[in-house]
Every structure is written in C-alpha cells, then in structure tokens.
Amino acid sequence: MARHRRRRSEEDTDRPDRWLVSYADLITLLFAFFVVMYAISQVSESKYRVLSDALVQAFQSQARPVDPDAQADPSRALVGSERGAIVGAAPSPAEERALREALARMKVLAGELKSLLDPLVNQGLVRVSETRQGLVIEINANALFRSGQASIEPTASETLAQVARKLASTRSAIRVEGHTDDVPIATAAFASNWELSAARAAAVVRLFVESGIPASRLTAIGHADNQPVEPGSSPEARARNRRVTVTVSAQAEAGHTGAVRPAPVR
C-alpha cells in the first residue's frame, strides 16, 4: 500500500503540464503591466490629428485626376505633408499650378527685396528666405527698435516703407510676428515680453497700412520669447531671437483657401 502511494506521488511530481502554472502567472503579470502602462499613457492629440489628416488626404487623392506635372516630378505631389505645409485636402492640379506660379512671383519679389535690403542683409540684420508657404522676411529688432521700446526708429521707417510698397503690389495675406529674447521686462509701458512683442508687431503693421497695404491683408502677432531660433542665453543668441518676421503667403497670392500651418523660420 505504501509502495503504491509512493508511486502515485512520483507520478504527480513528474507531470509534464506543470509549466502551465508559471506560464499563466507570466501572462497575468504581462497583462497587468500593459493595463498600468495604458492607464498612465497620454494620447498626443496633435499626432493623432496629423495621422487623421494624412489618412483623409490619402483616400481623397485617389479620386482626383492625375497631374502630369506631378508624374514628371513626384516631389510636387507632396502636398499635405510637412513639405507642403498645407493642412486638409490636396489642391487640384489647377490650384497646384497657380501655387507654383505664385511661388515664381515670390521668387522675383524675394530678389527685389534682397537687393533693396542688401546693406542690412550683409550686416546680418535681415534674412529673406523662400518656402512653399511663401516669402519670409526676418528683421533683427536692433535694426528697428531701441531696447525695450516699440517705436520704429526713423532711420528704419523709410526702409520698411519701401518694403511695404513692394508688398502692396501683391494680393497676398501678410503676417507680422514679434519676438523677444528671454530677459524679463516690466516697465510702465510693457508689463511683460508678451506686450512688447505684440506692440512691435503692431507698429510694423501700422507702418505697412500707412504705406498702402490694405489692413484686411495684415495680421499682427506677439510671441514673446516662446519661439527662439537660437538656443541659449548668450548675448549673441538673445540678439538673434529679438526679431520681427514678415510672412507673405503664396497660398493667398495663388487664390488657395486651404488652412496654412506657420512655416519655421531658418
């Protein structure tokens, strides 16, 4: 009898499915781990929206006629991505051609402005760049304002007026953005860098209006020190970040009404 019990005990200890217990414990722990990770995770709304827009555009573009120019140059078909800087449905072939023509006009305008602003460009106080969004003119604040002030210096007013007269010949929407460095300001006129940056942008817009650009085409925005182009707190970095950017929209020039994402200034 004792021998029979010993034999059964040995058979129980040698069961081949004993690993299932450890496997089940491992699966349970992994499940609990992923539940905890999901509970503490955060969904990036911006990334989700970019993915959603890309999927919508991919399905919509299948129903559009093929653009021969896009077949010849596939890079031209990259509309709706970061390169295109247009959110929403891709433009039709006619809209795309109008946009390319507008960009060609922007290129001519950029050459004229670079020639006009050549002394300031050579000093590193002005940068003129072309993007698919349009034309971006970056002006160092030292060329326009005194420290902590939002009144345009008389020596800069005439130069800005000449720029405005060039821009008045287009029908583009124009966005003027003021930027400051990271040094706090608290004066009777400006409680913070927000007020200073907005006031500087508004001063440029006001001069543009006085120089013949319709107010309906202009927008003034203040960013304070929240969009630096040069990291760090060195005097050189701070001087680079104190600036006013003027963005001339090629989409508006081409008659395109799609929503436009601000392009990075380089």
Q: How far is CA 178 from the centre of its chain?
A: 15
* Angle at CA of residue 138, ends 143 and 122, nearest 5°: 60
Q: What does the pLDDT average to over 46-73?
A: 54
Cα–chain center distance at 55: 20
Contact criterion met (CB below 8 Å) for 221 and 175: yes
What is the tens place of the pLDDT at every residue in 221-248?
999 999 999 988 899 999 999 999 999 9
Are the C-beta atoms of 143 and 163 separated by less than 8 Å?
Answer: no
Binning the chain into helix, strand and coil, the percentages to the nearest 5 are 55, 15, 35
Of the pLDDT bands very low, low, confident and very high (cuts 50, 70, 90), residue 34 is: confident
pTM of the model: 0.60
pLDDT of residue 63 exceeding 80, the answer is: no
Q: Contact at 8 Å (CB) between 173 and 247? A: no
DSSP code of residue 232:
S
Contact 246, 220 (CB under 8 A): no
User: Which residue type, as a one-letter code, is found at position 122?
Assistant: N
Determine the pLDDT at residue 89. 56
Residue with more model confidence, 62 or 45: 45
pLDDT, average across residues 25-54: 70
β-partners of residue 137 are: 128, 246
What is the crossing angle of helices 93-116 and 154-168, to 10°?
150
To the nearest whole percent, how much of the chain has pLDDT over 70? 68
Digit-coded pLDDT (tens) for 166-218: 999 888 899 999 999 999 998 999 999 999 999 999 999 999 999 999 999 99
Question: How far is 224 from 196, CA to CA, in rounded Å?
Answer: 7
pLDDT tens digits, 85-129: 444 556 677 777 777 887 788 888 889 989 999 999 999 999 998
Please give the backbone phi and psi of residue 187, each rounded to the nearest 5 degrees, phi first.
Answer: -120, 175
- Residue 101: per-residue pLDDT: 80
Contacts of 113 (CB under 8 A, 6+ apart): 128, 135, 137, 163, 166
Per residue in 67-79, pLDDT (tens digit) is 444 444 443 433 3
Residue 82: what pLDDT? 38
Q: How far apart are CA 248 and CA 243, in angstroms?
A: 16
CA–CA gap between residue 75 and residue 109 (Å, rounded): 24
Q: Residue 88 in contact with residue 80, Cβ under 8 Å?
A: yes
Q: Please write the tens of the pLDDT for every residue from 147-169.
A: 999 999 999 999 999 999 999 98
Beta strands in the chain (DSSP E): 86-87, 126-130, 134-140, 174-179, 218-222, 243-249, 259-260
pLDDT band at 134 (very low <50, low <70, confident <90, very high): confident
Q: What is the pLDDT of residue 10?
A: 56
Whether 209 and 221 have beta carbons less than 8 Å apart is answered as: no
Mean pLDDT of 251-262: 50
